Structure 1
Amino acid sequence: MLLFAKSIAGFSFWILGTQAAAAHVKWFSAYDAAGQPRGLENVLCQDFELLLGVALLWIFSGCVVERMSLGELITRSLNRLTASLRLHTEAMIRAICGFFFISLWAVGGILLTPELKTTSTLAGPLQLAIAAGLLSRRTAPLSAAGIVVLFGLAVRDYGMFHLADYPIFLGLAVYLALTGLQKNLFGVQPLDVVRYATAVTLMWASVEKWAYPEWSFPLLNEHPGITFGFTNEFYMRAAGMVEFTLAFALAWTPVVRRVAAAVLLGMFVSACFEFGKLDVIGHSAIIVVLVAILSDHRPNEPDSHAAWLAPVGLCAALTATLFAYYLGHAAIFYTTIL
């Protein structure tokens, strides 16, 4: 009976999404990035296996639907709904990124995200300069260079492991540089670069929900309605699995990634209402990237992505990300894995 209830819970999470998956806990609660994470033997529990099974079913089903007439209908509907956004993708990204960096300057004392505090006198003027450079395509590469400088300052102050949470900023920098120069990256389109960076960002962040679920418990106690009545432990496992699977889907085939972007977009926007203006500012860049992915109307790739490859790819990505996180943490902070 308990297994059935949790299966229904897993299904509900996929239908409704989770606001906690969208809220970045380091912005709202105390954390210790150097602390001992939950051992893998505790992470890879029965609930985790159940949720992974639900995830594999959904990603496989999505790939099957994409090849059916229903997939074509979804594509046509998304194309109609996002036609005007697609025509202004570059300007939209530049505008929202400009808003983001002006907001950072206005708040003051932070580098790229709310927990990356700084006393550097360089940060504020550089954030304003980045925003100014985004007014024109020609100067966007200069803004891209400024983002890389801010990222470098954050690595210097907080370490590479902490900044592994935020490869999306490097992806945005590459996007802005490439669109400004009207080039691609060895055949990879600018939007695809930031799409992959966003996928990696969210996959990495989801592991944190399994490794340090206790960071989020105070937040869940303050907002009990978002847990759907489930325990904090199960909720965080589910939130991590939802986020990881949707993030992986961003790197997959067109219909799958566009639907995943739509679900993630709904989660991030709803979290803004729940957690306020700090969440609006902090997640504005990722929200505009998700809108751009949702609006991307490029046709399907060749049939190199058979439906059965999606579950295999998800398992491979999950295994690689888990071990990269735990091995990296152990190497840097001398913690244990099991």
Structure 2
Amino acid sequence: MEHARSCGPRAAIRAATAAGMAAPLAASAHVKWFAPYIIEAPPQRLMETLTDRWFWTGILLVLVFFLAARALEKTRAGGAVLAGFDKVTGPLWARGDDFMRFVIAAFFVAIFAVGGVYLTPDLKSPHEWVSWMQLLIAALVFSRRTMPLAAAGIIGLWLLALTQYELFHLLDYLALGVGVAAYLVLAASDRLDWNRYRFVVLRWGVAIALMWSSLEKFAYPDWFYPLVEEKPFLTFGMPRDVFIPMAGVAEFTMGFGLLWTALIRRLSALALFVIFNAAVYPFGRLDLVGHALIMAVIVIIFADPTPQVRFALRRTLAAIPATLVATMAVSAMSYWGLHHALYGLDGRSGVAANNNNPGAAARSTHTHDPERPHEAPAAGGSAQAAYLASMQRMHGDMEAGVKHPDPDQAFVRGMIAHHRAAIEMAQIQLRHGTETQNRRLAQEIIETQKREIAEMEAWLRQRHAGEDKPG
């Protein structure tokens, strides 16, 4: 018995480390900030996710991680780990309210400087006065008397965005906005029985926001294809259709972990902090500004030393898989059910895209017009217009390439233009087409032509380097 007890922490650490290493903790940008998606498009059938082995592989890995962390938490080693966290984050936690108010104010100053948005880069605003409202919210955060007004301003911005965007689109941002607003109200309260819950509401707001937004990776994997094609290193060499569901599992389960016991909560927060920071370099300051608030809340969650095991259910290992599956089921039913209720089983875009075949459901998930990124494509020839525009660009670029006096360079330059047009046409097919075989072929064309373009561009660089050398 004593031997099993002494081996427990080491076994738990090994299991947690193995699961953590296997989990896809990759850079996680908000796809809506970078892809011209269509919110009304019908989501992929839920059964596609439930029959995906990589989805269940991700679930299994995370469950091993959670169970190992919970087992470790019950031991002296787990207590030592938590004490170490407390020692590192103690100074921050002592000034937690100052930190949060500063970050909230800095966030609203940042989006004021960006201009033309409501709360995130995705929510464009045509009103200049909205930016000044953001600056006012930042100023109101620094006084306890005015913090409730700042909270009202945050909710007001969300309601203003609702006049321009539809409810389903804005649900991503509701939980976090309500969590931050509730924090400001509770932090300003003189009632201790209210004030003590100010960081709890922040934690729940972030957790729900993460779990809800992660469902996009299961409902709309197509939204992520352009990002993966543009930045293939994000998948760490994993195939796209392996990485996307496992990344969705990681985001959902780490959000779920924020609601669990102290060690699971803090390890989940640490993992999320790494994930969000990893997205800053490839996606730039837009991602940094957009995620600044959620990253700050994650830091506070990690610093929070409160045990917060308020329910007996959370003390048992068996409760972890049971509640995780139940939470995923409720979230998925809410996401798919609400979308079907608002847009129908075939989605609003299906009406426009399938006039010639009313019985077919459209899977057109990306708009052809990046300036109108959340609307279904207009009926009648939008794909055709995109194909023709691509062909016209190709002819001009190929003609310019083959005019090079060196026949070898003329061939390579002309073929690069040809391959780029092939990639464009394949991307148009992915945005507008619905036939499975053609979509698979289009994806293969993109991967093959990109590889060949890279080879030809490398040849051109070598040729130019040789020409530049002195004779």
TM-score (norm: length of structure 2): 0.66
2:286 alignment partner, SS class: helix
1:275 corresponds in structure 2 to 283
CA contact (8 A) 2:33 2:122 kept: yes
Question: 1:39 matched to which residue of 2?
Answer: 45
Report whether the alignment pairs 1:108 with 2:118.
no
Instruction: Report the aligned-residue RMSD.
Output: 2.0
2:324 is the counterpart of 1:314 = yes
Structure 1 CA distance for aligned equivalents of residues 209 and 192 of structure 2: 21
1:140-159 matches, cutoff 5 A: 140-159=147-166
Corresponding residue of 1:161: 168
**Corresponding residue for residue 59 of structure 2:** 52
The structure-2 alpha-carbon separation of the partners of 1:107 and 1:300, relative to structure 1 and needing over 3 Å to count, comes to: closer
Secondary structure, aligned partner of 1:79: helix
The structure number with the bigger radius of gyration is 2
CA shift for structure 1 position 274: 2.1
Asked if the contact 2:115–2:131 (Cα under 8 Å) also holds between the matched residues in 1, the reply is: yes
Deviation at 1:36, TM superposition (A): 1.1
CA distance in 1, matches of 2:19, 2:234: 15
Q: Deviations over 1:228-272 (max 9, x none)?
A: 111111110010000011000001111110110011011111211
Shift of 1:312: 0.8
Closer/same/farther in 2, CA of residues 184 and 42 from structure 1, 3 Å limit: farther
1:203-249 deviation per Cα after TM superposition (whole angstroms, max 9, x unaligned)? 01111011111111111122211211111111100100000110000
Between 1 and 2, higher relative CO (CA 8 Å, sep ≥ 6) is seen in 1
For residues 310-331 of structure 1, give each alpha carbon's deviation from its aligned partner in whole angstroms, at most 9, with x where no partner exists: 1111000001111100000000
Partner of 1:23: 29
Per-residue CA deviation, residues 167-216 of structure 1 (Å, 9 max, x unaligned), is: 10110000011101244676871100110111100001111011111111
Are 2:263 and 1:255 aligned?
Answer: yes
% identity of equivalent residues: 34
> Residue in 2 aligned with 1:173?
181
Distance in 1, matches of 2:62 and 2:182, equals 31
Equivalent residue number for residue 6 of structure 1? none
Alignment check: 8 A CA contact 1:250 1:258 kept: yes
Write the mapping of 1:1-338 to structure 2, written as runs, cut at 5 A: 12-14=21-23, 17-19=25-27, 22-45=28-51, 46-166=53-173, 167-183=175-191, 189-301=197-309, 304=312, 305=314, 306-335=316-345
After TM superposition, the score normalised by the length of structure 1 is: 0.92
| Residue ranges of structure 1 left out of the alignment (5+ in a row) | 1-8
Distance in 2 between residues matched to 1:169 and 1:303, nearest whole Å: 26
Secondary structure class of the residue paired with 1:158: coil
The one-letter amino acid paired with 1:242 is A
Q: Equivalent residue of 1:82, what SS?
A: helix
Distance 2:185 2:31 in 1: 30
Q: CA deviation at 1:105?
A: 1.2
Q: Does the residue aligned with 1:164 lie in a helix, a strand or coil?
A: helix
What is the deviation of 1:123? 1.1
Question: Which range is displaced more, 67-76 or 284-293?
Answer: 67-76
Shift of 1:301: 2.5
User: 1:12–1:214: structure 2 CA closer, same or farther, 3 Å change rule?
Assistant: farther
Deviation at 1:10, TM superposition (A): 7.4
Alignment coverage as a number of residue pairs: 327
C-alpha distance in structure 2 between counterparts of 1:334 and 1:63, whole Å: 42
Residue 195 of structure 1 contacts residue 289 of structure 1 at CA under 8 Å; is this kept in 2? yes
Q: Distance in 2 between matches of 1:228 and 1:72?
A: 34
Residue 163 of structure 2 aligns to a residue whose secondary structure is helix
Matched with 2:449 is none
For 2:83 and 2:324, how far apart are their aligned partners in 1?
Answer: 27
